[in-house]
Structure 1
Amino acid sequence: MHRYLVQANDISHKEVGKFEETRYEKLHNEVFENSYQASALVAEEIAQLIKDKQEKGENCVLGLATGSSPIKVYEELVRMHREEGLSFSNVITFNLDEYYPMSKDNHQSYHYFMHQHLFDHIDIKPENVHIPDGKVLLDEVHQYCIDYEMKIKEHGGLDFQLLGIGRTGHVGFNEPGSHYNSGTRIITLDHLTRSDAASDFNGIENVPKRAITMGIGTILKAKRIVLLGWGHKKAEIIKDTVEGEITSNVPATYLQQHKNTTFILDYEAASELTRFKTPWLVGQCVWTDELKRKAMVWLSLKANKPILKLTDRDYNDNGMSGLLAQEGSAYELNIQMFNVLQHTITGWPGGKPNADDTNRPERAEPARKRVIIFSPHPDDDVISMGGTFCRLIDQGHEVHVVYQTSGNIAVTDAEALKFAEVAKDMTADTPSVFEEAVEFLTNKREDQIDSLDVRKLKGLIRRRESYGATRYIGLDDKNVHFLNLPFYETGEVKKNPLGEEDIQIIVDIIEQIKPHQIYAAGDLADPHGTHKVCLDGIFEALKLLKTKPYMNDCWVWLYRGAWHEWGLDEIEMAVPMSPGQVVQKRNAILFHQSQKDRVMFQGDDSREFWMRAEERNKATAKLYDALGLADYEAIEAFKRYHF
């Protein structure tokens, strides 16, 4: 077993789910609480391989991947080089792929990516770096790919291949239909692959349609393969790859034929694996309250029965006889879980004054709470919890909405130009900055970063849309705060890492308000990652503030954004909405006109934000109804975070 897998045994049970041979899983995988831990251990294995080769006087040949998955691995390797003296003088690298056509100096090229994240920060010899050339002439590509294969063979093959996985199941850019013995070649990219890359290119129309990629056969010849998978968006394809049959429709399944492959996953990426999603189908379970709830919700939906109508046979036929034996009868189990779910529902998200709060999600006191709603972008508040936002105001709480970033990158040039031209016409008699903005936007190159004035303009567009929405639902302007966190203000899709200045700004606003409730975006499926960075900033701020006396009275509730919803077994507070409140929420979202008709970062969902939020809330209500609970028009869902 490899070194980092041995070390995983030292990580607490909460931090790692150990691999178990089951009848479902056909690939070795290790599951970690987060990608930080996992990436550090993968980097350690790579570093040890490099050192072992150095001791033998041999070169170390690495196959490297791009994309978001390996970034933390590269960061750790750079740290080892700087702080521990890890040398890459004997390392030869071959990258998996490159867009075609693509120039090396384009910021979206994998050549640029690799130098930015790794090669510019280590002592690797330039002649030992090999990345497919995205500018080779089309009639020369075939021979170029043959030569790329020969270079790998000349160096003795790949000692270690690092992989990510796309949602089509591609490794490298080997899309569905790729043959198991395919070599390096040019390939046409799947629409879903291009859709996933659209945010990096400011629209799918700008994503290249082809790429040069190592083949499946090339990858399978590597002596060691490690595939990284992070986040719930990869969960379905990870399940298909690990538990499914080998098929060209999911090229990653070919890895089942490799004798030395490990998948390194976080919990979200592993969440659809049978041993995590339905462990009672795998073997005996320790029936915690959380697992009991998860299993009974699953059983109710699978059997298409309300919880109170589940029978002993339903439990026994679906791998839950152990739970039934432990609890005594389906009757007792059903009532117990029905009550748990019923108690998540409340029309009083800030707590109901002068009421028994024993079985309510929130405390009754203080009756009037100070509330912070953190919103990563200037619309997540109303998209994700617009109905609850309105309830909190209507029920007399002191509500503050805090927009963490300007959101300027999500305003299209066309939208900004429209506003700039209006302002220019309004100030026609006086020279103004809007003339320069119109000039810049009219002549902007495809790869050009917005000027500071244009960024400011786009930020102001989103700010004024936010005021429109918050005024509509009755919030005073003095309770609207714009943090403009510095990490976001790069002018590019790629942001800076979260810094101390960002965290301190969040600390300051919490200190100023001293809230009894904090609502934050717990949605990590955001296509460009801003939600996660904003959430990390809040978590870091809470660590710094947790000893403050007022924090003893502060509860944190996490909502999900436009891309995902909490599972029914995870929801701890469900706030129902009437038909009128659904319309009110929709109208608040529609104040964000710059995000309505052409959403720049919508992932692979073509619906507008108001539509997907509304349909998601209605779907949650339908699921509650299916379990035999009250039938509401729509429901917003929250999970409590204990800091």
Structure 2
Amino acid sequence: MIDLLPIHETHHADISYRHVGRTDVTRYEKMHVEVFADSGDASVAVAHEIANLIRAKAYQRQKCVLGLATGSSPIRVYDELVRLHREEGLSFANVVTFNLDEYYPMERTSTRSYWYFMHEHLFNHVDIDPQNIHLPDGLVPLQSVYQHCMDYEEEINRHGGLDFQLLGIGRTGHVGFNEPGSNSRSLTRLITLDHLTRVDAAPDFQGLNNVPTRAITMGIDTIRKARRVVLVAWGHKKASIVQEAVEGEKTSVLPASFLQEHDNLTVLLDREACSELRRFKTPWLVGPCQWDEDLTRKAIVWLSSKLEKPILKLTERDYNNNGMSDLLALGNSAYDLNIRMYNKLQHTITGWPGGKPGVDDSQRPERADPARKRVILFSPHPDDDVISMGGTFLRLVDQGHEVHVAYQTSGNIAVSHTDARRFAEFCHEMNLLSGVENAQLDAALEALKHPDQSAEKDPDLVLKIKGLIRRGEAAAGARFCGLPDSQIHFLDMPFYETGKSKKKPLGQADIDLVKELILQVRPHQIYAAGDLADPHGTHKVCLDAIFAALEQLKGDKAIKDTWLWLYRGAWQEWPVHEIEMAVPLSPQEVDKKRQAIFFHQSQKDGVMFQGEDDREFWQRAEQRNRETARRYNQLGLTEYEAIEAFRRWRF
């Protein structure tokens, strides 16, 4: 397989990842950073360090005092601790825990409380004494909050302080809920949540309006007093804030930066979260590089973009003045480098994503033969197909390929009660016209009129209605793109069908659904969402199912001629230097793609999981596609209206 983001250092997922000393490549980093290729391996490493500490303290007949975090980042750590308890006898009898924070106000019985989160992921599965579990109380009366926070501090001190503190980092730079503006000497207290923090929490609360505006959090000084601190961050969404915290100045605008002062701290990152650190983003500015083809391409694209000069106009002085003199010293002239990179980028552009019949394909992204290919377009949610590659979808159909679209999940939790109620009322009125009575539908309507915001999930019939809404929209969009119903597939993968933001782990039943479709179609091309960043995201699980299916089918004739192309979701695009197929779109094709997206009416006008970007999905997609075209044009290539981009995954 090709590494989508080259990691120039190898770190193994064992418990000895700490080391002393700094090297030239890390000299800009003010925290000790370790990078793992996979967040799962990193999580196991953290869990084993915690387990060793617990055992060492037990051997000394001492309590082990742990500071614990919530959120998606530490989930795999807790999974491994539970496994160690069940399979290797790790006891938590000597463990005392203090959690970083809790929403305010928040009942502990609520499925959205951190009390619930910690019991669901850890405490209910190990032998910890309930008396040793401490979390801030989200229901303490407002007039008593200050004293409650001071009592929390005193309880930590009474146990001798924190032996180990596990942290994540929010996109505002918060640790715990210490939002921008937090003082370095702050203690446990009530704070107001930043808007971006609430946006990130919105999926768990079924919408931004339901997210609390306040929380109780340990302070920065409380955290820094821990004898050992490990901060974990996964995914591209954390890359920018990690870079600022690790390489920037200490400032209250970015509270995590205060951890630079801690003398026993390690930051663990995966390949996406480290991507903005200088040693990975621009290693030629850090020190000598081992230049290979991928790094050369990345550097030249960066240089052209930085100087806003087309690649063919770059000079030797440009290379020398920007840390790339050693690339020239390898015997390459600027002229030769420019021509070679320009041609490589030019060869990624094709108006024939399924291959152009009857031509020399040696310099093209796709094969010329067979002229008519069988294609599976996997869409994690019911709208990713048209949002992310709608223009290419239309082009493949128009050019005569046998295209199948497979919607991997129902997407039911992303439909608002308002939309579901509208459809349920329509069905109800139709039933009345037909003289049909339906008590179940009446019950569903009542639930939609008066939704229980504290409920862990919607009633099953409500989820069914929401799923049918997404299914109808997806089918309409695919038909608009020219597909017959026989080539539209709804997999409804079981891992997704929990009715909650938290999903089940990927299982063989999910993989089998993907395998069965591949065996049925025997595709020459597979398109899949390549959002590798979030280890707990639906896109990542859906992609893992495809990877697992292909692995289990290895050697089968059904995939003998299969190529896998990865597209990105609505949130970001492949960097230009990683693009291997760029499909240009005309203004008319951009308009037609927009019309295909418009069939997904439930995902317009204030959708459930909008994210921090308040534009509609079609607007994000168009801006992203136009920006890719602009970047190509800035490098000196042909100007197009828009470009959809793909990266090939070799298996």
Q: TM-score under structure 1 normalisation?
A: 0.97
- 1:435 is matched with 442
Tell me which of 243, 246, 251 is aligned to 2:250.
246
Report what 1:574 is aligned to.
Answer: 582
Q: Is the contact between residue 527 and residue 601 of structure 1 (CA under 8 Å) also seen in structure 2? A: no
Deviation at 1:84, TM superposition (A): 0.2
Q: Given the superposition, is the C-alpha separation of residues 47 and 11 from structure 1 closer, same or farther in structure 2, using an over 3 Å criterion?
A: closer
Deviations 1:569-624 (CA, angstroms, capped at 9, x unpaired): 11000000000000000000000001011211121110100110011000100000
Separation in 1, partners of 2:572, 2:10:
30
What letter is aligned with 2:64?
Answer: C
Q: Which of residues 492, 502, 509 is equivalent to 2:510?
A: 502
Q: Which amino acid aligns with 1:161?
A: Q
Seen in structure 2, the aligned counterparts of structure 1 residues 528 and 498 have a Cα distance that, compared at 3 Å, is: closer
In structure 1, distance between residues paired with 2:459 and 2:602: 19
- The equivalent of 1:4 in structure 2 is none
Partner residue of 1:458 out of 443, 462, 466 = 466
Return the match for 1:148 from 146, 152, 157: 152
Q: Which amino acid aligns with 1:606?
A: D
Is the CA contact (8 Å cut-off) linking 1:527 and 1:602 kept in structure 2? no
Distance, in Å, in 2 between the alignment partners of 1:61 and 1:436 is: 49
Q: Report the Cα offset of residue 465 of structure 1.
A: 0.8
Deviation readout 1:203-230 (Å, 9 max, x if unpaired): 1111101100000000000000000000
* CA–CA distance in structure 2, aligned partners of residues 79 and 350 of structure 1: 46
How many residues get paired? 635
Cα distance, 1:328 vs structure 2: 2.5
Query: Displacement of 1:491 after TM fit?
Result: 1.1
- What is the CA-CA distance between 1:23 and the residue it aligns to? 3.4
Higher mean Cα deviation, 417-426 or 112-121?
Answer: 417-426
Alpha-carbon distance, 1:552 to partner: 2.2
On the 8 A contact 2:234/2:534 being kept in 1, the answer is no
Does residue 51 in structure 1 map to residue 59 in structure 2? no
| Residue pairs, 1:468-617, within 5 angstroms | 468-524=476-532, 529-617=537-625
Equivalent-residue separation in structure 2 for 1:159 and 1:394 (angstroms): 63
Tell me what 1:134 maps to.
Answer: 138
Residues 16 and 566 (structure 1 numbering): CA distance in 2 closer, same or farther, change over 3 Å? farther
- Alignment partners' CA distance in 2, 1:363 and 1:310: 32
Deviation at 1:423, TM superposition (A): 1.4
8 Å CA contact 1:455–1:491 kept in 2: the answer is yes
| SS of residue in 2 equivalent to 1:343 | helix
Does 2:165 align with 1:161?
A: yes
> Contact (CA 8 Å) 1:16, 1:32: kept in 2 or not?
no
Q: Within 5 Å, give how 1:42-441 maps onto structure 2.
A: 42-428=46-432, 429-432=435-438, 433-441=440-448
Residue 30 (structure 1) aligned with residue 34 (structure 2): yes
| Distance (whole Å) between structure 2 residues aligned to residue 494 and residue 116 of structure 1 | 11
2:3 aligned partner: none
- Residues of 1 paired with 2:216 and 2:188: CA distance? 7
Deviations for 1:16-43, whole angstroms, at most 9, x for unmatched residues? 9997453311110000001100000110
| Structure 1 residues 123 and 232: CA distance shift in structure 2, 3 A | same
| Whole-angstrom distance in 2 between the partners of 1:439 and 1:185 | 40
The two structures, once aligned, show a CA RMSD in angstroms of: 1.7
CA–CA distance in 2 between the matches of 1:245 and 1:545? 51
Is residue 518–residue 558 contact of structure 2 (8 Å, CA) maintained in 1? no
* Contact map agreement 2:192 2:214 (CA 8 A) in 1: yes
For 1:473 and 1:16, the matched residues in 2 are separated by 53
Q: CA deviation at 1:167?
A: 0.6
Q: Quick one: structure 1 residues 590 and 10, their matched pair in 2 at CA, closer, same or farther if it must change by over 3 Å?
A: closer
Runs (5+) with no aligned partner, structure 1: 1-6
Q: Match for 2:453 among 446, 459, 466?
A: 446
SS in 1 for 2:273: helix
Q: Is the 8 A contact 1:307 1:334 kept in 2?
A: yes
Conserved in 1, the CA contact under 8 Å of 2:69 and 2:100?
yes
User: Greater shift after overlay, 431-440 or 120-129?
Assistant: 431-440
Question: Percent of aligned pairs with the same residue?
Answer: 64
Please identify, of 138-147 and 19-28, the stretch whose mean Cα deviation from structure 2 is larger.
Answer: 19-28
Deviation at 1:447, TM superposition (A): 2.3
| Separation in structure 1 between the aligned mates of residue 23 and residue 386 of structure 2, nearest angstrom | 43
Displacement of 1:514: 0.9
- Report the 3-state secondary structure (helix = DSSP H, G, I; strand = E; otherwise coil) of the residue aligned with 2:326: helix
CA deviation string 1:361-397 (max 9, x = no partner)? 0011111111000000111000000000011111111
Q: Distance in 2 between matches of 1:23 and 1:613?
A: 38
State the Cα distance separating 1:549 from its structure 2 match.
Answer: 2.2
Aligned-pair CA distance for 1:507: 1.1
User: Structure 2: which 5+ residue stretches go unaligned?
Assistant: 1-8
Q: Which moved more, 1:113-122 or 1:453-462?
A: 453-462
CA distance in 2, matches of 1:155, 1:450: 42
1:526–1:563 Cα contact (<8 Å) kept: no
Q: How far apart, in 2, do the equivalents of 1:540 and 1:528 lie?
A: 16
**Post-superposition shift, 1:554?**
0.3
Alpha-carbon distance change, 558 to 534 in structure 1, aligned in 2, over 3 angstroms: same
Aligned to 2:5: none
Q: Take 1:41 and 1:525, find their aligned partners in 2: how far apart are those partners?
A: 19
8 Å Cα contact 1:450/1:491 also seen in 2: yes
Asked if structure 1 preserves the Cα contact closer than 8 Å seen for 2:379 and 2:405, the reply is yes
User: Cα deviation per residue 1:618-642 (whole Å; 9 max; x = unaligned)?
Assistant: 0100000000001000000000111
Cα separation, 2, equivalents of 1:594 and 1:376: 16
After superposition, what is the alpha-carbon deviation per residue over 1:243-274, rounded to whole angstroms, capped at 9, x for unaligned? Answer: 00000100001001000000000010000000
In 2: Cα distance, 1:463 partner to 1:636 partner: 25
For 1:185 and 1:443, locate their aligned partners in 2 and report how far apart those are by CA, in whole Å.
35
SS of structure 1 residue aligned to 2:576: coil
State the secondary structure of the residue aligned to 2:575. Answer: coil
The 1:19–1:30 alpha-carbon spacing in structure 2 relative to 1, beyond 3 Å, is farther
Deviation, 1:444, is: 2.0
CA-to-aligned-CA distance 1:438-457 (integer Å, 9 cap, x gap): 22211221123222211111
2:116 and 2:266 map into 1 onto residues whose CA distance is 28
- TM-score by length of structure 2 reads 0.96
Once the two structures are TM-superposed, the CA of residue 354 in structure 1 deviates from its matched residue by: 0.9
